[in-house]
Structure 1
Amino acid sequence: MGFGLIGPRRERHALSLDQLESLALPVGDDGVMIGVDANSRPAVLGVNRPAPYDVTLIGGLWTAQILALRAAATGARVAVETGRTQVWAALAQAAGGGQPCITLHDVGRVPPQGASAGSPVVIVRDCGMRPPRGRVVSAPWQSVVTLLPYLSPVAPRLMRKSDLVGVQRVSPDEGEQIGRIMGLPQGEAAALTTLADGVTLWCTERDRQFVMTQPTDAETGLLGGARRMD
């Protein structure tokens, strides 16, 4: 019989296999917080992936640097391939509190990074309008982000082979061409010519989302306010 009062008798907490699905939690993708969508909900870009992942960003240096800084904050090692190291030097020095989490390399001189699940890598290619074919390409746990300031002659090829394309404010002719390449509705293609600084249309073959990147105070102090032009 035991001692003490008899507690309330309840039914056992048990579920059938068919009922387990109702307990699923709406967990979104993890990755880099790139801003907020039109409904002020967080927009997250998962750049650390177990499969090769290529991103093309037709936009400004500021957005590429925000992406690099936030990728480093998630624990990724960032390698920047650039012909203008002077515009990346302050960012590389400030990131990581003295640890070399963002490294700078001349164009065509990025060494093998040895990416792994425990040490993912993001390579940012800031190589101008006609970036040469890179020696280091996307691989498992190693994503490549190619920055193009405008819609260059090589842009259509890069966009078609990319897993994700980001577009900031462009000219009407560029917006029309990007709309054809990405299969955008006419209204969204036209909107590309009027986007505010810091707004990017991120799109794949099936999905599209306008995102506003809002810098933190620390990011503003390091990189300044959002801007499309360098």
Structure 2
Amino acid sequence: MGFGLIGPRRDRHAVAVEQLDALALPVGDDGTVIGVDAEGRPAVLGINRPTAYDITLIGGLWTAQVLALRAAATGARVTVETGRGPAWTGLAQAAGGGQPCITLHDVGRVPPQGASAGSPVVVVRDCGMRPPRGRVVSGPWQSVVTLLPYLSPVAPRLMEKSALVGVQRVSPDEAAQVGRIMNLSQAETEALSTLADGVTLWCTARDRQFVMTQATDAETGLLGAARRMD
């Protein structure tokens, strides 16, 4: 004997074994979706990590800003170190629905960020062709993305120390240099000078992947269409 009223009786929630496959959910890598690969599958960048993670992007401001927006959407705090604040002001004001999830700082003026597993940080360094050594470096739960508009004299050093390198359309001479630094195949090297706007070759020490970044309607309204030049 129990206490209280007897509750309603319902059938058990059960499915046949042959129906289990219909309940499967597509689960990919954890991280920020930066576009789609050549087969149209989502390309995901795990940017929030418990270890130091450096990224060098030789490309346009548009791609860096899309990456910043999407990193913020995953819950990261995004800190932008830039010498062209007006180019980032609209993005910082629009992101986060009024919450300060993207903050802007002058070059060399980034304070300690206090990154943690519960509050990861992505530092975007938009400091021109020769970015000075940053006061805030990568560390646990704090990744650093360095944006270079072209292959500058400091690019080889940055590329060699980075865990991930992204390259957008460059000149044939620059492509040849990138190919030597990153050990690209001849086909990959030649493709670098013909890439469409929004396409990036992402490289690690072992892997290469061409990714097309496709903006959402909200991103297009804020940042405009994909472009390599600014």
> Matched residues in 2 for 1:151 and 1:111: separation?
28
The alpha carbon displacement at 1:28 in A equals 3.1
Q: Secondary structure at the match of 2:176?
A: helix
The aligned residue for residue 100 of structure 1 is: 100
Q: What RMSD over aligned residues (CA atoms) do the two structures have, in Å?
A: 1.2
The alpha carbon displacement at 1:38 in A equals 0.1
Is 2:190 the partner of 1:163? no
> Matched residues in 1 for 2:213 and 2:90: separation?
20
Q: After TM superposition, list the pairs within 5 Å mapping 1:15-26 onto structure 2.
A: none
Q: TM-score, normalised by structure 1?
A: 0.89
Q: Secondary structure at the match of 1:88?
A: helix
CA offset digits 1:37-59 (Å, max 9, x no partner): 00000000010000000000000
> Matched residues in 1 for 2:41 and 2:31: separation?
15
Q: How many residues align?
A: 207
> Matched residues in 1 for 2:83 and 2:49: separation?
27
The aligned residue for residue 220 of structure 1 is: 220
Q: Secondary structure at the match of 1:104?
A: strand
> Matched residues in 2 for 1:184 and 1:72: separation?
31
Is 2:150 the partner of 1:150? yes
CA offset digits 1:189-218 (Å, max 9, x no partner): 000000000000000110000000000000
The alpha carbon displacement at 1:188 in A equals 0.3
> Matched residues in 1 for 2:61 and 2:163: separation?
20
Structure 2 residue identity aligned to 1:30: D
Q: After TM superposition, list the pairs within 5 Å mapping 1:102-117 onto structure 2.
A: 102-117=102-117
Structure 2 residue identity aligned to 1:118: G
The alpha carbon displacement at 1:100 in A equals 0.3
CA offset digits 1:48-95 (Å, max 9, x no partner): 000000000000000000000000000000000000000000000000
The alpha carbon displacement at 1:224 in A equals 0.1
Structure 2 residue identity aligned to 1:69: L
The aligned residue for residue 87 of structure 1 is: 87
Q: After TM superposition, list the pairs within 5 Å mapping 1:37-56 onto structure 2.
A: 37-56=37-56
Structure 2 residue identity aligned to 1:182: M
The alpha carbon displacement at 1:124 in A equals 0.1
Q: Secondary structure at the match of 1:67?
A: helix
> Matched residues in 1 for 2:187 and 2:41: separation?
22
The aligned residue for residue 22 of structure 1 is: none
The aligned residue for residue 124 of structure 2 is: 124
Give the gaps of 5 or more residues in structure 2.
1-24
The alpha carbon displacement at 1:26 in A equals 8.2
> Matched residues in 2 for 1:227 and 1:27: separation?
31
> Matched residues in 1 for 2:84 and 2:104: separation?
10
The aligned residue for residue 69 of structure 1 is: 69
Structure 1 residue identity aligned to 2:64: A
The alpha carbon displacement at 1:32 in A equals 0.7
Structure 2 residue identity aligned to 1:103: T
Structure 1 residue identity aligned to 2:149: P
Q: Secondary structure at the match of 2:116?
A: coil
The aligned residue for residue 201 of structure 2 is: 201
Q: Secondary structure at the match of 1:110?
A: coil
Q: TM-score, normalised by structure 2?
A: 0.89
> Matched residues in 1 for 2:46 and 2:122: separation?
11
The aligned residue for residue 57 of structure 2 is: 57
> Matched residues in 2 for 1:76 and 1:28: separation?
19
The aligned residue for residue 189 of structure 1 is: 189
> Matched residues in 2 for 1:27 and 1:73: separation?
18
Structure 2 residue identity aligned to 1:169: R
> Matched residues in 2 for 1:65 and 1:173: separation?
27
